[in-house]
Every structure is written in C-alpha cells, then in structure tokens.
Amino acid sequence: MPELPDVELYRRRLERHGLHRRIEAVEVGDTRLLANITGKALSAALAGHAFEETRRHGKHLLVRLDDGHWLTLHFGMTGDLQPFAPSLEGAPDYNQLRLDFDRGALAYVSRRKLGRIGLVEDAEAFLRAEALGPDALEVSEDTFLERLGGRRGGVKAALTDQSLFAGIGNLYADEILFQARLHPKTKLSALNRSERRALYHAMRKVLTAAVEAEAGSERLLDRLPDDFLLPHRDAGQSCPRCGGPLKSLQVGGRRSTFCPRCQPPSNADA
C-alpha cells in the first residue's frame, strides 16, 4: 500500500529494525526489480555494511550506507517492507530483497513486482533525475498554490502527478477530495484561491492523520479517523459522514470512490 504515509511507515520500520546493524547476508529475488545494478553487485555493495540514515521523498525511500552509497526503494503498487525474526520464521512470501542483520531481518516484499530497487552514490542527484515535485507533506501553502498555478485539467490528476507534488496516489487522492468535499471530476479551473487553500489543508490533514494512524501498526486503513472515506471504500459501503451510498467513477483511467451527496459536482466539472 505504498503511498506517502505507507512509505513513511516503511522508513520508520527501517529506522527501528535496520539502522546501525551489520548486514550479514543479502538475498535478491526477481532481478527485474533492480535498476541499473545486478543482483550480485547489489549483494556485494550491501553485505558487511550497515545502514546509517534514511530519507523519504514522496513514495521513494532512500537509505544511506556507511560508505556513502544510498539504497533506493520504490514500492510500486504492492510493495512492503517487513521486519521478521529469522530465528523464528522464514522470510515473508513474495520477498524480493532479504536483508539479514546481526540482529533481526528485513524483507522488501512485492507481489506484482512493479517497484524498483537501486543503488546510487548521490541521493540528491537521484531525486533530481526522478523529476519529483516537493514532498506533499513538506510543501508550503504558497508553493502549493504556485505549482497549481499555470495548470489545467483535473484536480485529482494534479494531486497524483508526482512531478507536481510527490507522494499522493489514487487512494489518498480520493480521501483528500472527500475531506475537501470536491467531486472527483472537479477541474482546477473551477477552484478559486480560497478553495485551493482548503484543498491544501485537506491534503495536510489527510496525510498527517494517515502517517499518525499507521505509525507502528498493521491494518492501516481501519486505523484512520472515523470520518475518513478510505476504510469504507469497498463496494456497497456507505459514507461515514452522511450515511448515503458511495459511488465509483472512472477518472483519469482509475477508479474514484466518492460520496455523491457530500461531493456534488459543480457545473464546471466535466
């Protein structure tokens, strides 16, 4: 479930279970996940070293090794980072990168293998090359407004455009729109300045709450605040705010779930 809040949780897991410990063994799964490095080279680069620092930008997790290199992790649609106790259990299913430390172990897990694992020398250069916008939790209101400025098209497309703001995916975009009471097909051109500011604050509220709800726990969506849409996103469920039936629409090629009563279309929507 790797959007910004999920990746932030993975970062914290790595901080807690993988920092300052000698990497005793490395096991690479499907090498198609590897970016510009062979499994052998990656193993050699990690083994015997220790992680010293983590960074997250949007959906990317970067981990600095004691020799200055950075392990780069992107989780695609089904990636996860799971600690496990090798003395008690095997690595989780769909493990693609197993790291055994002098104490404990971590597994990068991915069913659909749409993520990327790499190794770079320069974290800043890597992020620059990814052409990401500012992290969605770090961007200021002014910068947010400025970046939305010369843009056309839909609000949802803007929120999920990683080059505009990094970290928001399809699920959290729906949540932000729900909290902002905007129909998923709302166009940017329909929003005035104060509505855009409200959107910014909805974005912050959602991401902050999600990061807090996830910290240290498993069933993330169920731990979100009661008035959040995401725990009710499955078919046939009702709006946590008004109790009315939720609806789904195809927006920009992806499913959008929303409450037609709380998020009515404006006349400027498509």
Residues 6+ apart with CB under 8 A from 135: 4, 56, 57, 58, 165, 166, 167
Would residue 2 show up in a list of annotated catalytic residues for this protein? yes
In this chain, which stretch among 81-89, 148-156, 197-205, 259-267 interacts with DNA, using CB under 7 A? 148-156
Do the beta carbons of residue 1 and residue 83 sit within 8 Å? no
Q: Is 169 in the site for DNA (CB under 7 A)?
A: yes
* Termini Cα distance of the chain: 30
Q: Is 130 in the site for DNA (CB under 7 A)?
A: yes
Of 179, 228, 227, 229, the closest CA to residue 203 belongs to: 179
Q: Is 145 in the site for DNA (CB under 7 A)?
A: no
Q: How many residues bind DNA (CB under 7 A)?
A: 33
In this chain, which stretch among 42-50, 134-142, 210-218, 253-261 interacts with DNA, using CB under 7 A? 253-261
Rounded to whole angstroms, what are the CA distances from 105 to 74, 152, 221, 264? 19, 46, 26, 48
- Closer of 18 and 169 to DNA (Cβ): 169
Footprint of DNA on 25-64 (CB under 7 A): 30, 32, 58-59
Place of tokens 């912050």: 204
Would residue 231 show up in a list of annotated catalytic residues for this protein? no
Footprint of DNA on 192-251 (CB under 7 A): none
Q: Is 184 in the site for DNA (CB under 7 A)?
A: no
Kindly tell me which residue out of 40, 112, 128, 219 binds DNA, with binding defined by CB under 7 A: 112
Kindly tell me which residue out of 28, 73, 171, 202 binds DNA, with binding defined by CB under 7 A: 171
- To the nearest 10°, the Cα dihedral for 186, 190, 194, 197? 40
> Annotated catalytic residue: which of 113, 204, 247, 254?
254
Classify residue 214 as exposed, middle or buried by CB count within 10 Å of its CB (0-12, 13-18, 19+): buried
Q: Is 170 in the site for DNA (CB under 7 A)?
A: yes
Would residue 254 show up in a list of annotated catalytic residues for this protein? yes
Closest distance to DNA from the beta carbon of 30 (Å): 6
Compute the distance between CA of residue 67 and CA of residue 49 in angstroms, rounded to an integer: 8
Closest distance to DNA from the beta carbon of 66 (Å): 28
Would residue 15 show up in a list of annotated catalytic residues for this protein? no
Structure tokens at 28: 């690479």
Footprint of DNA on 82-101 (CB under 7 A): 94
- Closer of 21 and 247 to DNA (Cβ): 247
Residues 6+ apart with CB under 8 A from 2: 10, 59, 74, 75, 76, 77, 78, 79, 80, 115, 169
Instruction: Name the DSSP class of 187.
Output: B
- Closer of 162 and 179 to DNA (Cβ): 162
Identify residue 230 by its one-letter amino acid code.
L
The residues annotated with a catalytic role in the active site are 2-3, 59, 254
Query: Which residues of this chain interact with DNA, rule CB under 7 A?
Result: 1-3, 6, 30, 32, 58-59, 74, 76-78, 94, 111-114, 130, 151-154, 157, 160, 162, 169-171, 187, 252-255
